[in-house]
Chains A and B, each alone.
Chain A
Amino acid sequence: DAGVTQSPTHLIKTRGQQVTLRCSPKSGHDTVSWYQQALGQGPQFIFQYYEEEERQRGNFPDRFSGHQFPNYSSELNVNALLLGDSALYLCASRLGQREAFFGQGTRLTVV
């Protein structure tokens, strides 16, 4: 079992550009959540997907959007990138209400 996998591991983008991050959940998991972790801070919840729909959303602007596919994998899209979007983006998956497992993250740098 490969666990939760995220791609790419690192990414550098220019202000104003758009970015797509990808996540494959742990085998058997049906719920995927995305978190943003700024340097020195705890992760902040962005949104959660279940059955291909966004079920919950944190305090993030509409520039942040996502998608979940029938195979439970997920994408996080960020439009009109700002310098402040530079962070480690973490994907987590779980089955129902069970334990959450995290991927290794995507380090996004906006220049």
Chain B
Amino acid sequence: KQEVTQIPAALSVPEGENLVLNCSFTDSAIYNLQWFRQDPGKGLTSLLLIQSSQREQTSGRLNASLDKSSGRSTLYIAASQPGDSATYLCASRTLLTGKLIFGQGTTLQVKP
């Protein structure tokens, strides 16, 4: 049974800092891993999708990496801004089931 864990649960950093959010999963037989952003009370916005055959994906100030052998993914945010404050969720998907298994999220606060 796939389990996804995100540590830390909360993070507070000053504006401009580079930071890394961690996601670990127990079953390496994933099809892809997706990172989402969620603002309070809102839906999920897809940030990056990494296929199992890929090692990383980049979009603007965001870079996500995937290491299947160690069961880890990281989301790197460069030069953080107050507008980056939100909850970040990672989710793994297997080809067989198609459903997304989510971590509990990391709530990020970027202070001006």
Contact = CB atoms under 8 A, between A and B. Distances in A.
Contacts, number: 59
A92 B100 contact: yes
Contact of A42 (B42, B43, B49, B103): B103
Most buried by A among B42, B98, B101, B102: B98
A68 interface: no
B99 A58 contact: yes
Interface of B: 4, 31, 34, 36, 41-46, 49, 89, 91, 93, 95, 97-105
A31 interface: yes
Contacts of A48: 98-99
A1 interface: no
Interface residues of A, number: 27
B102 A107 contact: no
A81 interface: no
A99 B48 CA distance: 9
B97 A102 contact: no
Contacts of B43: 4, 6, 90, 102-105
